[in-house]
Structure 1
């Protein structure tokens, strides 16, 4: 591939920022209102609050990870653009799946779909990481930032544990494992 086929990352980053902002806005707009203005009514919709918090943290974490990656990327190609579009397509399901999982927290189907979305995002990020390192092979920091073991393999393993526990009769384990991966990722990003 010739040098002329590479593109700047600015427009891709702006598109990504806009999509994440829209997803976060939709998430908060989908939160149900309590039946009355009491703590008991607010407590009654605690699963919605938990699902919102988890999904918001996922959005913030993915945005931060994307920013970390692209501040060190000098060039992208059409494959990277399409991987990002596919990532945004899968990720844009988060508001819908958040409400679905919040409304049916003990349903294996809803929790599985919610967790599956995370797994597909991880797979797309893995493919994108490999492609970005290949295109930007001279960027040592990028190789460290895209440490596949820390960023993708370990969360994938945690998701699998969540699915196994869910199939043993505790569907909410998938959401809890999603929370564990997000908290772990945030802690690693602060180091």
Structure 2
């Protein structure tokens, strides 16, 4: 399959997910600063969810700029990844309404981690489906930055369980730039 149509589908699904997330932000009770401050947790978790979705879009945009063809395996793994990401609107509200709950943050982090793990499988499937694509083979010679991100998430889970549950969500945020800073995952 040609990757351009597949990219367009991914873009459309991510746009829908972002729209649902922003529609879930509650309206302020009135026009005061205090009313806006009362929904600050909802806005903070929305901003993080936006960054997660944008990071996924940016990753796929950069990735598919060097992909020539996609296999059924890549399509189904990406569909699985998009399904996991489609849970983000629900999890965003779950965390916003239960900000000090370990379970809420653990579920949010699990969505993040699951997407990263599926990305590792997608990378391997892409390498198999387009063996002659040197740029793709070089870009995916290792998954060091994804493994580092998973290690950061493990630290977040430990801190979240023993110290402060929002640490899990904080480490989601910290791990996003680690994907680009640590490894060669930026597809330069």
Task: Tell me the TM-score normalised to structure 1 length.
Answer: 0.90
What's 1:32 paired with? 26
Distance 1:87 1:148 in 2: 17
- 1:187, distance to aligned residue in structure 2 (A): 5.7
CA contact (8 A) 2:148 2:178 kept: no
Q: How far apart are 1:144 and its partner, in Å? A: 4.2
State which drifts further: 59-68 or 175-184.
Answer: 175-184
Cα shift readout 1:72-130 (whole Å, capped 9, x = no counterpart): 11121111111011111111001110010111111011000000001110111000001
Q: Whole-Å Cα distance in 2 between the matches of residues 61 and 9 of structure 1?
A: 19
Q: Are 1:149 and 2:144 an aligned pair?
A: yes
Q: Give the structure 1 partner of residue 73 of structure 2.
A: 79
Q: Answer whether contact 1:166 1:173 (CA < 8 A) is retained.
A: yes
Indicate the SS of the match to 1:52: helix
1:96 equivalent in structure 2: 90
Kept after mapping to 1: 8 A contact 2:63/2:187? no
Distance 1:103 1:190 in 2: 37
Q: Please say if residues 115 and 178 of structure 1, whose CA atoms lie closer than 8 Å, have aligned partners that are also in contact.
A: yes
Contact 1:83/1:124 (CA < 8 Å) preserved in 2? yes
Q: Residue 172 and residue 187 in structure 1: after superposition, are their counterparts in 2 closer, same or farther (change >3 A)? A: same
Query: Of 137, 162, 166, which aligns to 2:160?
Result: 166
Aligned residue for 1:4?
none
In structure 2, how many angstroms separate the alpha carbons of the residues matched to 1:144 and 1:48? Answer: 40
Shift of the alpha carbon at 1:141?
Answer: 2.4
TM-score (norm 2): 0.91
- How far the C-alpha of 1:19 sits from its partner, in A, is 0.3
Which ranges in structure 1 are unaligned for 5 or more consecutive residues? 1-6
Matches within 5 A, 1:2-151: 7-146=1-140, 147-150=142-145
Long gaps (5+) in structure 2:
none
Report the count of equivalent residues. Answer: 184
CA contact (8 A) 2:66 2:135 kept: yes
Structure 2 CA distance for partners of 1:99 and 1:8, relative to 1, 3 Å: same
